[in-house]
Structure 1
Amino acid sequence: MDTGFTTVYWRDMLRFVRFKALLISSLVQPALWLAFFGVAMSSNFDRLAGMTPAFPGVVQVGYMTFIAAGVIAMTTLFTSLFGGIVLLFDKNWGLMREILASPMNRNNIIIGIGLSGVTKSFIQAMVIMLFGLLLGVKFFVGYTAVQTIFAILGILLFVGIFALGFLFLSAFISMSMESPEGLQGVTTLLTMPIFFASNALYPIDGFPEILKLVSTVNPLTLMINGIRYFAIGDNFTAIGLHFVYTPMDILISFLGLIAFAIATFTLAWWKFRRAVIT
């Protein structure tokens, strides 16, 4: 049985655990972002929402709850896009040459890095959800224990597929770059449009038509749709707007993420098949 991908997986996870500064910052930073930005903005948005007519019989959630899904998505995006940097370091330090020259299937490198990144994203998502609940985020309100477990699994499923897609993309970019600065520049260029052209911080209803179309197919929007569906429900109001998610909407979002992950895996696979490290 080929266990090459498990070696890559455990190596990356050990690095994640042993570098205490990286571990702590990756867990604390999104929690602080939710605490400071969420608390500061929620009072303003909730005040404005209180001026709009209520929707009878529809659950009303605060801006803190609305943005919590966006913070989970933001953290997963940043972690995944920078997850491939380990490959760039291995390439620059000469270790990648030894790995590619070994009998191990090159696909194992992609799979191992992808699975380690998904594990990190799961840990961060759980930390944000727990911290958010302490801050007053209204996730899983009215859910039974079984429904809560099912909802958490649904959230992690969306987080996992999304993380895989961007980890494969990060692996492709990393193998195409020669320096960490180049990788940082490309990933920074990608993160801002992806994040702000999504429904992470605000609804997309007021976007211009072209930007609304871009946001609709944005993988980040697709993941956030799934998170809000499982964590809040399929029918709720927030910041004065009415949100309704049908099972078909969520299925389309999920299939969109799978298509994105397949596309980026194909890119990473193509790059690794052609990789020659001297």
Structure 2
Amino acid sequence: MHKGFLTIYWRDMLRFVRFRTLLFTSLIQPALWLAFFGIAMSNNFDRLTATMPAVPGVRAVGYLTFIGAGVIAMTTLFTSLFGGTVLLFDKNWGLMRETLSSPLPRIHIIVGIGLSAMTKSFIQAAVIMGFGLLLGVKFFEGYTATQVLISLIGITLFIGAFSLGFLFLSAAIAITMESPEGMQAVITLLTMPFFFTSNALYPANSFPPLLRALSTVNPLTHLVSGIRYFAIGSDFSSIGIRYTYTQGEAVTSFIALLIFATIMFLIARWRFTKVTVT
């Protein structure tokens, strides 16, 4: 029984590796986004904040470092939300009918696809992080080797929980939709509010009250905060604003992501028990 979800997992990973164009664009596109948008915005913000007084005793980081965590989170969001598209194609091509008629429990389909999306997110995050360090992103500055290892484990846990939650959401949407165009429209509609009500590109404390409230419950905000806590530190300043993250806040953000992933899993499981593929 335990091999069922591994079969789904390996099939999706083989498809990811063999489609060279998909593999290339999924790895290069976020790196280019960081290179062009990140550097352009970094020059503007750094020039603006250069005239502001530094916060005494607090390490100042450039906007490129600040946005680096946001780009990793943004890429994980896009990868996870579009990860369920494979289920829609399987349904339209008749492969889903054969899978559902097999002895394989339906929950294994969800878990297998979820693990493959999580693996892709890990790969892309590693590429972005490595490319960002080459561009001048100051992750893990002043860290010892042990601290870097612990931080990488923490970032991996945050990305894993986040990607599973949004993949389960994507799977629930995919098994409900009938056309790729419809699914793409729904995912695009979901992506914008999640992304722009988060702290990925700018500080959330400058939002209007309503958007600030949405930001506090936004899973993307919790992911970005977790990455910054581990990769930059618990106390730093950027864009003229001081940021502090306590260990308790990091744990709370991780628990929030686990709760979100659990709820999305239950929704995806419910949708898969109700679906009938003809």
Compute the TM-score of the two structures, normalised by the length of structure 1: 0.99
1:46-195, aligned counterparts within 5 Å? 46-195=46-195
Matched to 2:61, the amino acid is V
Equivalent-residue separation in structure 1 for 2:246 and 2:55 (angstroms): 18
Aligned residue for 1:45?
45
Matched, 1:267 2:234: no
Given that 1:48 and 1:240 are in contact with CA atoms closer than 8 Å, whether structure 2 keeps it comes out as no
Does the residue aligned with 2:143 lie in a helix, a strand or coil? Answer: coil
Does the residue aligned with 1:236 lie in a helix, a strand or coil? Answer: strand
- CA deviations 1:184-207 (Å, max 9, x no partner) are 000000001110111000001111
Deviation of 1:2 (Å): 2.7
Equivalent-residue separation in structure 2 for 1:259 and 1:84 (angstroms): 20
Compute the TM-score of the two structures, normalised by the length of structure 2: 0.99
Given that 1:30 and 1:128 are in contact with CA atoms closer than 8 Å, whether structure 2 keeps it comes out as yes
Equivalent-residue separation in structure 2 for 1:263 and 1:36 (angstroms): 36
Deviation of 1:23 (Å): 0.2
Does the residue aligned with 2:206 lie in a helix, a strand or coil? Answer: coil
Matched to 1:100, the amino acid is L
Equivalent-residue separation in structure 2 for 1:7 and 1:83 (angstroms): 17
Deviation of 1:243 (Å): 0.2
Does the residue aligned with 1:138 lie in a helix, a strand or coil? Answer: coil
Aligned residue for 2:32?
32
Matched to 1:259, the amino acid is I
Equivalent-residue separation in structure 2 for 1:163 and 1:196 (angstroms): 18
Does the residue aligned with 2:83 lie in a helix, a strand or coil? Answer: coil
Aligned residue for 2:254?
254
Deviation of 1:52 (Å): 1.4
- CA deviations 1:198-257 (Å, max 9, x no partner) are 100000111110110001110000000000000000000000000000111111111110
Aligned residue for 1:201?
201
Equivalent-residue separation in structure 2 for 1:22 and 1:224 (angstroms): 26
Does the residue aligned with 2:205 lie in a helix, a strand or coil? Answer: coil
Matched to 1:237, the amino acid is S
Matched to 2:33, the amino acid is W
**Which segments of 5 or more consecutive residues in structure 1 lack a partner in the other structure?**
none
**Which segments of 5 or more consecutive residues in structure 2 lack a partner in the other structure?**
none
Over the residues paired in the alignment, what is the CA RMSD in angstroms?
0.6
Deviation of 1:94 (Å): 0.6
Given that 1:162 and 1:257 are in contact with CA atoms closer than 8 Å, whether structure 2 keeps it comes out as yes
Deviation of 1:50 (Å): 1.4
Does the residue aligned with 2:60 lie in a helix, a strand or coil? Answer: strand
Does the residue aligned with 1:243 lie in a helix, a strand or coil? Answer: strand
Does the residue aligned with 1:205 lie in a helix, a strand or coil? Answer: helix
- CA deviations 1:13-51 (Å, max 9, x no partner) are 000000000000000000000000011010110111112
Matched to 2:13, the amino acid is M
Percent identical across equivalent pairs?
A: 66
Matched to 1:5, the amino acid is F
- CA deviations 1:119-171 (Å, max 9, x no partner) are 00000000000000000000000101111011111111101100000000000
Given that 1:235 and 1:244 are in contact with CA atoms closer than 8 Å, whether structure 2 keeps it comes out as yes
Matched to 1:274, the amino acid is K
